[in-house]
Amino acid sequence: KKADIGVAMGITGTDVSKEAADIVLTDDNFATIVKAIERGRWIYDNIKKYLTYLLRANITEVVVLGGVVLAMGPEFLPLLPAAILYINLATDGLPALALGVAPPDPDIMQRPPRDPRESIFSREVRTLILLGVLIECPIFLWVFFQSFSDMELARTKIFFMFVLIELIIAVNFRSLRYSLLQAPPHKWLLLAIAWELGLVAVLIQFPAVRDAFGISLPAAADVGIIVTLGFGVVVSIEVAKAVLWAKAPGAGRVAA
């Protein structure tokens, strides 16, 4: 009665014990409990990755787009509605789904039990969301105002920055604890990223799509700047994970 979850044997257990239990082991094998705990931790971790990735992206969009519109008016909207829709549905969608089925961390069964009252918005989730927003928003705003005199150029840079950062930062979130190099490989995430890069590369070749998004083909120099800034965000997230888990009990060792 004092246990958080009562377990009864399905084969040898009595009817009374089965009715009182929260879980019934149909095979009477205690190893099944271990597998169930591992799967539960795995699913819970992936929900946190999914939420961290999407909430960070959406909050950043709201702050950047909303801030510019409130300060300067709707005619200076950094992204047109079609571009916003594309980023939210296409660019964010597949990587987020892939993170939902990411492989488990190697130390998932070496961690101490989690408090059942703990919010899913745990310390690492809150910190990584906040850090992502604080790093990305100034970068987006700086890039936008650098090209403010040419709205099409400014929107082009902002659009491709959102696309690139959303795709490469998904690689960061394969694990909220392990570093980029230590996290388990995830082929489905890599396929999702490759698909999205290929899709946007094809779509922007059509003038009608560029007109709908309010963008133009990016210059090579602009692409270089966007890639450099994008990888700067990735490095910042890696440093944050290293600091978060440097002294955390039961955490995987994270290399910066």
Q: Where are the domains of the chain?
A: 42-244
- pLDDT tens for residues 213-223? 999 998 888 88
What confidence score (pLDDT) does residue 212 get? 93
pLDDT for the residue numbered 248: 57
How many angstroms separate the CA atoms of 73 and 211, rounded? Answer: 21
Triad 121, 125, 131: Cα angle to 5°: 130
pLDDT along the chain (256 residues), means of 10: 72 74 76 85 93 94 94 91 91 91 89 84 89 92 88 92 91 88 90 92 92 91 88 87 68 39
Residue 63, pLDDT score: 95
pLDDT at 2: 66
* 75 conformational bin, left if phi > 0, alpha if psi -120 to 50, beta if neither: alpha
| Residue 190, pLDDT score | 93
Determine contact, residues 210/217, Cβ cutoff 8 Å.
Answer: yes
Specify the pLDDT at position 179.
86
Q: What is the pLDDT of residues 137-161, one digit of tens each?
A: 999 999 999 888 899 999 999 999 9
**Contact predicate 95/170, CB 8 Å:** yes
Task: Answer yes or no: are the C-beta atoms of 94 and 195 closer than 8 Å.
Answer: yes
Right CATH for 42-244 from 1.20.1110.10, 1.20.120.160, 2.40.30.170, 3.40.1160.10:
1.20.1110.10
Identity of the residue numbered 185: P
Instruction: Look at residue 1 in the predicted model and tell me its pLDDT.
Output: 57
pTM: 0.86
Nearest to 106 by CA among 36, 22, 195, 45: 45
Instruction: Single out the residue of 35, 249, 230 nearest to residue 132, CA to CA.
Output: 230
